[in-house]
Structure 1
Amino acid sequence: MKILPSEITPRRFHLQRRTLLAAALPVALPVALPGAALAQALPASRSGLPGALLMEPPTRKQDATSYNNFYEFGTEKDEPVRQAQRLRTRPWTVSVEGEVLKPRVFGIEDLLKLAPMEERIYRLRCVEGWSMVIPWIGYSLSALLRQVEPTGKAKFVEFVTLADREQMPGLRSGVLDWPYVEALRLDEALHPLTLLSFGMYGELLPKQNGAPLRLVVPWKYGFKSGKSLVRIRLTDKMPTPSWVAANPREYGFFSNVNPQVDHPRWSQASERRIGEDAGNFGGLFAKRRPTLMFNGYAEQVASMYAGMDLRRFF
């Protein structure tokens, strides 16, 4: 019997005193990447891309790195920070294949040097009803896709994540069929806001947050942003993401943040920002805020869905 994410409750939810970083202050980006080739990727510049920087306080780093969904390392929010430390992130390769003229296997060092790194402060909205604001480091996924030259047949991009039972104890569960698969339409994947992220808070991605590289699609629910990527495949047919395969009634291919479309078992009209009112039973009863259409990125992305019934194509 498969366990739905909505049915999983954390064993404990520890949030400490309320400490928010001022978004207007410069973010120090230390050279935290090991090796000369990795160090060349830093420092990251702040993005000039509209919508990539928010005038909102980032979530405290401790909260963003200890309250995670990464089912390969456990279904409870506090498990990934403990279980993921066994993950080996070097060596690491990513295969980009399918409907491309120049298929290629990239080493992680090559990817880190592929394009200039930027800091982008994005909202992250989870389908379970919580949200964060995270300063990611990376570059637009389009920079990678241009390297392989998609063919005229390419319409979708499939993302496959690592599935290694030796390193990932969560794979022994029946939550999903592994490996974890996600997908975007090609225009979504090429949108400049779609980020290939290698770091957060000025440092390498922590293992529990998807090291060594992950996808970040800020206008979609968080499960669309696959972690620990090992394969990217361009195709002419719509792939079936893991949660769509597990429960198509509750999880759609697009999964755009839409407060007007309820999850079958709860409303998506409001959210709880992790770290706010942390002294109030760990923030579990914090005041909720209205959820924004497309997670607040409607001005940048709504045109991609013009004419679509967003209740049907959820």
Structure 2
Amino acid sequence: MFPRHVLRDALRIPAAEVTDETVYRQRRRLLTALVGTPALALSACSRAEPPAPPKVAITPAQAKSGFRTDEELTRYQDVTSYNNFYEFGTGKNDPSRAPRTLRTSPWTVTVGGECAKPGKISLEDLLKGLKPEERIYRMRCVEGWSMVIPWLGVPLADVLKKFEPTSKAKYVAFTSLADPKQMPEVRYRSINWPYREGLRIDEAMHPLTILATGLYGKALPQQNGAPLRLVVPWKYGFKGIKSIIEINFVETMPETAWHDLQPSEYGFFSNVNPNVDHPRWSQKTERRIAGKTGNLFAERIPTRIFNGYAPQVASLYTGLDLKKWF
């Protein structure tokens, strides 16, 4: 018997959306059906620890070269109406149509774990100490669509350094809000709420990684992860955890929401990689949602390794088997 919300979503899919994209648009219900099936061979390494990262130095000029792009921006109306935010619905348009129930002020993030100065920081205090800057990033979703978005954000590294992570801090774990009163879909347990994500400490400290507070010069809308979300542009979009309320420094690789649900399909690293396909679809090409029309069914373009940010981040993974540690 399917959960009530799955049947509800199936009934409201317009006929116009029944295309070759339908499979990935129904990702949650497919995964629900697959949870009981045997994991693929790739999951055998999912609980192991990867090799230690190489010690690399990213120069300021190298980092800043990734902050802008000449590629055409995705329209604001598309960035804010075509979203994955399952706490507000499973359909791509559901989050933008959901009632504005999320209370974003006051907002506090608790930081703890392997650090010398655990504590809390309010969004207001964070913005007092760090002025958000605009960065235009390409964003790639695991389902095959991509956007170019002008984010407002602060470097995650500058926030984390305030809490003085210790030498035991090998990873950074993030937790989102999971309040069924504010987020109606949390009432259904198709994901093990709250949503959780994680990065290796060097990824979290990389200059390209930001905590986003807005886009297109405006505060983040509810459907885009208000008031604070993670943006890591060389990784698939589901790594960009939204509505963050907790950050922890940890010594071992943390469990993450999609990996917890289906480890053979959603690895911890989740770097954009055209050479590693999802078990149910290819990652070699993508549809760019951009321009005056925001055409969802535009001609596909080749997917680039690390989403085009290889000059800035490839050195983080020297010696790492990217097919094993996907």
TM-score normalised by the chain length of structure 1: 0.83
| 1: CA distance, partners of 2:130 / 2:99 | 28
User: How far is the alpha carbon of 1:12 from its aligned partner?
Assistant: 4.8
The aligned amino acid for 1:259 is P
Partner of 2:317: 305
Partner of 2:255: 240
Q: 1:287 aligns with which of 299, 304, 310?
A: 299
Deviations 1:233-283 (A, max 9, x none): 0000110101000000100000000001100011000000114684xxx83
Partner of 2:13: 11
Partner of 2:166: 151
* Equivalent residues in 2 for 1:48-197, closer than 5 Å: 49-83=64-98, 85-197=100-212
Partner of 1:273: 288
Count of aligned residue pairs for this structure pair = 276
Partner-residue secondary structure (3-state), 1:171: helix
Partner of 1:26: none
Partner-residue secondary structure (3-state), 1:86: coil
Deviations 1:265-310 (A, max 9, x none): 11000000114684xxx83432000001000000000000000100
Partner of 1:221: 236
User: How far is the alpha carbon of 1:83 from its aligned partner?
Assistant: 1.5
User: How far is the alpha carbon of 1:185 from its aligned partner?
Assistant: 0.3
Partner-residue secondary structure (3-state), 2:203: helix
1:256 aligns with 2:271: yes
Partner of 2:308: 296
CA contact (8 A) 1:159 1:226 kept: yes
**Are the structure 2 counterparts of residues 13 and 144 from structure 1 closer, same or farther at C-alpha, using a change threshold of 3 Å?**
farther
CA contact (8 A) 1:2 1:175 kept: no
TM-score normalised by the chain length of structure 2: 0.80
| 1: CA distance, partners of 2:149 / 2:296 | 20
Which has a greater percent of helix? 2
Deviations 1:156-211 (A, max 9, x none): 00000000000111112232100000000000000000011101000101111001
The aligned amino acid for 1:300 is Q
What residue ranges of structure 2 are gaps of 5+ in the alignment? 4-8, 18-62
CA contact (8 A) 1:272 1:287 kept: yes
| 1: CA distance, partners of 2:280 / 2:114 | 38
What residue ranges of structure 1 are gaps of 5+ in the alignment? 16-47
Partner of 2:213: 198
Partner of 1:29: none
* Percent of aligned positions that are identical: 58
Query: Which piece of structure 1 moves more, 170-179 or 96-105?
Result: 170-179
